[in-house]
């Protein structure tokens, strides 16, 4: 049986050695979990990763929860998750203290001014990438534009936009499934 | 009270931020505006550090924001509350999730959330671009050109090109921008 320590440290190592989260984490999970530990097959990891995207929360963390749960049940899921976030906690708290002190120095302030511009650019880049991937129909375009406008101009909470979009999408899928029975019926549960 | 709000806000983020680390951004931005515990500039600094530090960006930002607002307990509460919803969902519903995720209605819901999330992050991008590239709040169109920080905007344009056209790694873009900031005295 897989020990909880082993779960914790394996996922802590994955958390420690990957930059960028999400997709960037997949090869590291493959190497540690599939090749070294043989806890899952490559296909299982890909399946969990896909499921992790269809579950709320951080994709990399979700994948870890699935794999831990698979090994040791509920406790395994929790331990794998804690392992995954442990390096973040330690590293960020250490850095936060150091950076707060360094902020007093003028050179560091200039550096951070440059860095903030980079972050804005990175976010714009992410939006364009996400829009290209997710806006594939007129409906998608309307949702994209509606979310942007509602938040920017009307100051509506993002929570309402997410819940509203989910309800609209689910409602629309249910409606088309009823209109074309047998074609898009889903799994009639 | 601060810790209760941190718990509730980050639990909400864990539940509703669908589609990767950046999806938590609209919620964090709302938090900044609602409580004023940290400034917009501080949030952007935190995103930069989170991006350039190992680990998922979502948990890194949660830890950083929580730590800045409430020290070590704040960091623990923010990060643990953010992962709590998905841990609960996965461990309680693991048996049914594979079936549900193939359900057309569930898929329809997620398919609609994705472009909406892109729009939400787009709104944050606009707000942050305004505060970084304009010297005044708001969009006063008459005096817009005089208020643009051209050195900042130019730097941004070059960085965008490096990212989009030459496929630079985000960490490299951040380090490069720090150097430019020092050299130009931005």
Token couple for A58: 């951080």
Is the domain of A32 the same as that of A91? Answer: yes
> Are A96 and A114 within one domain?
no
3-state secondary structure of B17: coil
A53 lies in the same domain as A97:
yes
pLDDT for the residue B88: 94
For residue A145, being part of any structural domain is answered with yes
Statement to judge: residues A36 and A89 lie in one domain:
yes
Q: Report percent pLDDT > 90 for chain A.
A: 63
Enter the ipTM: 0.88
> Per-10-residue mean pLDDT for chain B, 186 residues long?
95 88 90 92 92 89 96 97 94 85 89 93 91 75 77 92 89 91 89
User: For A29-39, b where at least 16 C-beta lie within 10 A, e where not — what string?
Assistant: bbebbbeeeeb
Strand segments (E) across chain A: none
Same domain membership, residue A111 and residue A91: no
- Give SS3 for B54: strand
Considering the domain boundaries, does residue A122 fall inside one?
A: yes
pLDDT score of A22: 64
- Cα gap A119→A125, rounded to integer Å: 10
Closest chain B residue to the Cα of A105, Cα to Cα: B182
| pLDDT higher than 90, residue A162 | yes
DSSP letter assigned to residue B33: H
DSSP assignment, residue A35?
A: I
A170, A132: one domain: yes
Q: Which of residues 26-45 of A touch B (CB under 8 A)?
A: none
Domain that residue A77 falls in: 4-102
A184 found inside a domain: no
Chain B residues in contact with A112 (beta carbon < 8 A): 45, 48, 178, 181
User: What tokens does B59 get?
Assistant: 């948990």
Residue B140 has a pLDDT of: 67
- Spatial contact of A144 and B116, defined as CB atoms under 8 Å apart: yes
Lowest mean pLDDT across A1-15, A17-31, B162-176: A17-31
Judged on CB neighbours under 10 Å (0-12, 13-18, 19+), B101 is: middle
Looking at residue A20, its pLDDT comes to: 65
Question: Hey, which residues 165-184 in chain B have their CB within 8 Å of chain A?
Answer: 170-171, 173-174, 176-182, 184
Count CA within 13 A, CB hemisphere, residue B56.
33
Q: Are residues A53 and A141 in the same domain?
A: no
Three-state secondary structure string covering A9-31: HHHHHHHHCCECCHHHHHHHHHH
Task: Please check whether residue A188 lies inside any domain of the structure.
Answer: no
| pLDDT reading at A182 higher than 60 | no
Asked if residue A141 and residue A91 are part of one domain, the reply reads no
Is residue A188 predicted with pLDDT exceeding 60? no
Whole-angstrom distance, CA of residue A124 vs CA of residue A21: 18
The reported pLDDT for the residue numbered A187 is 46
> Structurally, how many domains does chain A consist of?
2
Alpha carbon of B145: minimum distance to chain A alpha carbons (Å) = 19
- Shared domain for A80 and A31, answered yes or no, is yes
């Amino acid at each position: 049986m897989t020990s909880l320590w082993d779960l914790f440290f394996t996922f802590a190592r994955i958390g420690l050695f990957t930059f960028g989260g999400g997709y960037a984490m997949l090869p590291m999970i493959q190497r540690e979990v599939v090749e070294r530990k043989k806890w899952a097959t490559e296909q299982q990891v890909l399946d969990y990763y896909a499921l992790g995207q269809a579950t709320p929360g951080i994709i990399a963390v979700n994948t870890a929860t699935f794999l831990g749960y698979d090994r040791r049940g509920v406790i395994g899921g929790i331990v794998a998750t804690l392992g995954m976030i442990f390096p973040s906690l330690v590293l960020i708290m250490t850095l936060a203290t150091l950076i707060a002190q360094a902020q007093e120095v003028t050179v560091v302030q200039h550096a951070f001014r440059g860095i903030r511009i980079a972050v804005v650019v990175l976010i714009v880049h992410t939006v364009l990438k996400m829009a290209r991937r997710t806006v594939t129909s007129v409906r998608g375009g309307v949702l994209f534009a509606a979310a942007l406008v509602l938040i920017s101009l009307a100051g509506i909470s993002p929570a309402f936009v997410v819940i509203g979009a989910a309800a609209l999408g689910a409602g629309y899928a249910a409606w088309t499934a009823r209109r074309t029975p047998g074609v898009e019926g889903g799994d009639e549960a | 009270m601060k810790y209760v709000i941190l718990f509730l806000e980050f639990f909400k983020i864990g539940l509703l931020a669908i589609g990767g680390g950046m999806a938590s951004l609209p919620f964090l931005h709302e938090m900044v505006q609602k409580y004023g515990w940290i400034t917009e500039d501080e949030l952007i600094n935190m995103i930069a550090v989170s991006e350039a530090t190992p680990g998922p960006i979502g948990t890194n930002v949660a830890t950083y924001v929580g730590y800045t607002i409430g020290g070590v307990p704040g960091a623990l509460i923010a990060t643990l509350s953010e992962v709590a919803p998905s841990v609960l969902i996965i461990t309680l519903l693991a048996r049914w999730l594979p079936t549900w995720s193939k359900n057309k209605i569930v898929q329809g819901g997620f398919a609609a959330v994705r472009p909406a999330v892109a729009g939400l992050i787009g709104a944050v991008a606009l707000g942050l671009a305004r505060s970084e590239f304009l010297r005044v709040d708001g969009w006063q169109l008459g005096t817009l050109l005089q208020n643009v920080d051209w050195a900042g905007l130019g730097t941004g344009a070059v960085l965008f090109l490096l990212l989009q056209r030459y496929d630079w790694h985000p960490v490299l873009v951040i380090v490069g921008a720090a150097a430019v900031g020092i050299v130009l005295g931005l």
